[in-house]
């Protein structure tokens, strides 16, 4: 899941995939709620989810978009291409669509982030 305190710096919480179906992932509602509650206690919000595509580009598929919440973020990591892309899921004219956002992982951007000891 993707958490953030300020809306810019993203924090990733790794969860075990709760389905055994190949090519799919599932976060059960009680697990989602538990992470959300713990995030809130730490002053963070859940902005969305992240997952990997083991054999595909980092582009959300129809199932990804269908299961996403409108207004949420979706980070996808392409395992083969070793590339991550960040998407915002929006509802337009009754249909959910994914719009790519800029994911700044440059050394300059990372250097500006507060270090763990500064928090």
Nearer to Zn ion, 48 or 64 (CB): 64
Smallest distance from Zn ion to CB 81, Å: 14
Nearer to Zn ion, 39 or 68 (CB): 68
Q: Which residue is nearest to Zn ion (CB)?
A: 64
Smallest distance from Zn ion to CB 114, Å: 31
Nearer to Zn ion, 44 or 48 (CB): 48
DSSP secondary structure of the chain: -EEESSSSSEEE--------STT-----HHHHHHHHHHHHHTT-EEEEEEEEETTS-SS--HHHHHHSPTT-EEEEEETTTTEEEEEEEEEETTEEEEEEE-----HHHHHHSPPGGG-
């Amino acid at each position: 899941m993707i958490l953030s305190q300020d809306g810019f710096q993203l924090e990733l919480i790794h969860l075990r995939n709760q389905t055994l179906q190949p090519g799919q992932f599932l976060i059960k509602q009680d697990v989602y709620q538990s992470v959300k509650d713990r995030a809130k206690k730490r002053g963070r919000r859940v902005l969305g989810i992240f997952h990997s595509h083991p054999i595909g580009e980092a582009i959300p598929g129809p199932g990804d978009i269908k299961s996403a919440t409108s207004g949420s973020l979706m980070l996808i990591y392409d395992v083969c291409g070793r590339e991550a892309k960040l998407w915002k899921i929006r509802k337009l004219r009754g249909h959910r669509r994914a719009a790519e956002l800029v994911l700044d992982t440059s050394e300059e951007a990372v250097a500006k982030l507060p270090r763990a000891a500064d928090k």
